[in-house]
Structure formats: C-alpha cells, structure tokens
Amino acid sequence: MNLKNKIIVITGGSTGLGNKLAELFIKSDSKVIICSRKKPKNLLPNQIWKQVDISKQDEIKKFTNWIKKEYGKIDILINNAGFVGKLKTLDKINDSELEEYVKINFIGTFLMTKYSLRLIDKYNESWIINISSQASKKPVPNLSIYSATKSAVTSMTQALAKELEGTKLNCITICPAGINTAMREKLFGKEDALKQQSTKSVADLIKQIVKSKITIQNGSVILIKRGKIENIEISPNK
C-alpha cells in the first residue's frame, strides 16, 4: 500500500506506541490524525490532534463526524488506546475500575470501529488494526480484567474480518509482548521496562505489514515479541 496522502487515524496517539506509529507514518507523507484524552507534549509536524475520550460514545461520534466533514474518509484505523490500572487480584478490583477497563479497552475500540466503518472504502485497500496484547493469548495474573478485555478485542476483530470477506478491508489484531513505555514502567518499574521491546520496533513491523512488505492474511492475530513477529494465528475458516 502506498501511504502517501492516506488518512490514518490512531487512537491513544499521544504517547507510547501510538505516538511512535504517528511519527513513522508521517515520514511516509500520510495525513495522520491522532486522538487522546490528553494533548501530546510535542505535536509532530503535519500531525493533527483531537481531544477524544473513547470511553464516551458521543465523543467518538463527534470525532468521526468531524473526520467525515474534513477528509471524507479513513484509509487506516489503528485502535491503540488502552487502559491498565494497578496490579490487583480479581477480588480487589472495584466497580469503577472494571467499568474503565471495559469502556476503554473494549467498548471504545468497538465503537471507534463501528463509526469508522462508514468512512472506509471497503473496495480499495484499507486497514483496521486493533492493538491487543500478548495478555489476550497468555493471561497475566493480577491483570485479569485487562487480559479479558484484550481477548474480547481479538475475538471481535476476527469476527469482523469474517464479516468483511470479499472486500479489500483488512482487519488484523496486533498482540505485542511487553513494550518499553511509561505504562509498563508504572506497572512493573523502570528496570523491567528497559528490558522490553521498543515502541519503534513494534511500530516498524506494523508499518511493514501495511506497506505489504510482510504478507498477512485478513483476520490474523500477530504476536510481536523482542521486536520480531513470533507467531501468526490465522482465523479458522469455519
């Protein structure tokens, strides 16, 4: 896929992996629109930022309506926004934490996908890339709800890929293992975070997939570990 002038929307694009994805796609002369709850510390040249809380349906609708008015389409949607709280056993998770996990990690991704579909030309090459986690395939103790919501994202994406068979809209799930981000450092400490793969290594692979440098089947679940694709799970035919 030639990325020049493509409209790319990235949720959770102000920090971490989302920020690095925006940086790499801008280098390919794409029009990159990021959204997040907080404004990035440094906006990149030619980057557009909108304040959106993806846990709120009305804000997602307003955001996608704005994209329709300004650009008329989306070529690539990357649902990257996510939430992880403190490490807790399941019985210690309170109602507000449960709600935030579900609203941001799953419902937000679902709604962003739903309202973006009307802006994506399914009969020209296009992408929906949902960022899940290795935790969706290998659940993590003390992160039970995080693991569950990421599993829901993976299943939803595979089902959507089936619904869109016969079109040129590719729907895939990226499941990174640990990444060196502020979120990781907050959870496990700086020493642990420094041992993880870089945001650039993961973002580079995603960009290669979109540019068709790496052949990926629609509906695939891709595990990225140590900056490399470790496993590709292909959605079953039946």
How many domains does one find in the chain? Answer: 1
Bridge partner residues of 90 (DSSP): none
CATH number where 201 lies = 3.40.50.720
pLDDT for residue 114: 97
pLDDT for residue 236: 65
The two three-digit tokens of residue 83, written as one number: 């939430």
Query: Does a structural domain hold residue 38?
Result: yes
The two three-digit tokens of residue 89, written as one number: 């056993």
Query: Does a structural domain hold residue 91?
Result: yes
Query: Does a structural domain hold residue 2?
Result: no
**DSSP H/E element including 58:** helix 57-70
* Interval 125-137: pLDDT, tens: 999 999 999 998 8
How large is the average pLDDT for residues 205-229? Answer: 92
Query: Does a structural domain hold residue 170?
Result: yes
pTM: 0.95
Query: Does a structural domain hold residue 128?
Result: yes
Question: Residue 16 and residue 21: Cα distance in Å, rounded?
Answer: 9
pLDDT for residue 227: 92
- Is the distance from CB of 66 to CB of 49 less than 8 angstroms? no
Domain span holding position 223: 7-233
Residue 237 has pLDDT above 80, yes or no: no
Torsions phi, psi for 115 (to 5 deg) = -80, -15
- Is the distance from CB of 177 to CB of 202 less than 8 angstroms? no
Confidence of residue 35 (pLDDT cuts 50, 70, 90): very high
Residue 41 has pLDDT above 90, yes or no: no
The two three-digit tokens of residue 137, written as one number: 């395939």
Q: What 8-state DSSP symbol labels residue 105?
A: I
Question: Residue 113 and residue 117: Cα distance in Å, rounded?
Answer: 6
Residue 235 has pLDDT above 80, yes or no: no
In sequence order, the 6+-apart residues with CB closer than 8 A to the CB of 179 are 16, 17, 196, 197, 198, 199, 202
How large is the average pLDDT for residues 131-155? Answer: 92
Query: Does a structural domain hold residue 1?
Result: no
Residue 169 has pLDDT above 60, yes or no: yes
- Is the distance from CB of 220 to CB of 173 less than 8 angstroms? yes
Query: Does a structural domain hold residue 238?
Result: no
More confident residue, 80 or 39: 80
Query: Does a structural domain hold residue 37?
Result: yes
Question: Residue 22 and residue 27: Cα distance in Å, rounded?
Answer: 9
Identify the sign of the CA torsion 147, 208, 72, 32. positive
